[in-house]
């Protein structure tokens, strides 16, 4: 492997971590998948499909391959298969084209497109969650409220500071927290979430313009990260993954 390919793979790591964490619902499991996939690529023990010329896509392929592909059956109440989730995450969260997403998953272009349409339809019928929004910019907070409502969820509170977030969480007991990181004079979104989680567990999605700062793999970091600006579908699939806790992997033999 050339030094250029090696450097490109390293540069793609934050994006692969974001995908893997969202897919598994866990920082630890997601980062382990990325580390194993990177090792395979660097050692040359796994050969990615020829259409995948981009190193980021190659890591997505490695993560998906190690994750195990299609689950044998849906859990009770599940609406989306593993393939549905993978397609949605690749196209919505990672901004991969449907054609390239199909190549990553080993699906013909027509099959990938049809499955993606089905996934989007099923996602619209997903169960709703009570959402607490932590955002200090009023206009952005209003936009987030509309997006959350448009995804079928209920907004139970909007906080602009650490203190307000903790107080609202104690009263509303949200099923999901959507948090900005920089709250200006109101403090830090990560600190607000840490305080909330001491007394009440809820899955958390962090919203930031600089996702690479949260995806280094060097510390305890969030499993779900959305990059500003984002589309409604991105929020929809991220909230579904966060609320359902990712999916169970099928181990490679």
Collect all residues with Cβ–Cβ distance below 8 Å to 45 and sequence separation of at least 6. Answer: none
Residue 250 main-chain phi, psi, to 5 deg: -105, 115
Q: Are strands 176-180 and 204-208 parallel, antiparallel or unpaired?
A: parallel
Contact 205, 153 (CB under 8 A): no
Collect all residues with Cβ–Cβ distance below 8 Å to 41 and sequence separation of at least 6. Answer: 1, 9, 48, 58, 59, 62
What's the burial of 209, exposed, middle or buried (CB within 10 Å: 0-12/13-18/19+)? exposed
Distance CA 99, CA 108 (A): 8
pLDDT at 61: 94
pLDDT band at 132 (very low <50, low <70, confident <90, very high): very high
Partners of 208 in the β-ladder: 227
pLDDT single digits (tens) 77-89: 567 888 898 999 9
Contact 162, 168 (CB under 8 A): no
Q: Where are the domains of the chain?
A: 130-244
pTM of the model: 0.78
pLDDT at 171: 95
Is 50 exceeded by the pLDDT of residue 250?
no
Q: Which residue has the higher pLDDT, 69 or 235?
A: 235
Collect all residues with Cβ–Cβ distance below 8 Å to 32 and sequence separation of at least 6. Answer: none
Collect all residues with Cβ–Cβ distance below 8 Å to 6 and sequence separation of at least 6. Answer: 42
Which one-letter DSSP state was computed for residue 93?
I
Query: Residue 91: which of 206, 230, 246, 250 has the closest Cα?
Result: 230
CATH topology assigned to domain 130-244: Rossmann fold (3.40.50)
pLDDT at 181: 84
Is 70 exceeded by the pLDDT of residue 251?
no
Is 90 exceeded by the pLDDT of residue 233?
no
């Amino acid at each position: 492997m050339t030094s250029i390919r090696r450097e490109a793979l390293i540069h793609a790591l934050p994006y692969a971590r974001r995908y893997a964490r969202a897919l598994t619902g866990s920082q630890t499991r997601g980062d382990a998948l990325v580390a194993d996939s990177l090792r395979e690529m660097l050692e040359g023990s796994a050969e990615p499909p020829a259409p995948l010329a981009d190193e980021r896509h190659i890591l997505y392929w490695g993560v998906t391959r190690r994750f195990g592909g299609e689950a044998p059956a849906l859990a009770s109440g599940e609406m989306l298969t593993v393939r549905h989730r993978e397609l949605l995450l690749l196209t919505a969260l990672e901004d991969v084209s449907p054609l390239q997403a199909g190549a990553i998953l080993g699906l013909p272009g027509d099959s990938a497109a049809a499955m993606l349409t089905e996934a989007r339809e099923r996602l619209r019928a997903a169960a709703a969650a009570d959402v607490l929004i932590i955002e200090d910019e009023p206009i952005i907070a209003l936009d987030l409220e509309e997006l959350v409502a448009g995804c079928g969820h209920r907004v139970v509170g909007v906080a602009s500071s650490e203190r307000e977030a903790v107080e609202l969480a104690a009263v509303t007991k949200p099923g999901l927290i959507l948090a900005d990181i920089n709250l200006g004079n109101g403090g830090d979104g990560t600190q607000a979430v840490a305080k909330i989680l001491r007394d009440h567990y809820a899955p958390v999605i962090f919203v930031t313009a600089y996702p690479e700062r949260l995806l280094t793999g060097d510390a305890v970091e969030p499993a779900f990260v959305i990059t500003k600006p984002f589309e409604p579908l991105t929020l929809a699939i991220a909230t579904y993954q966060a609320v359902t806790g990712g999916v169970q992997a099928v181990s490679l033999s």
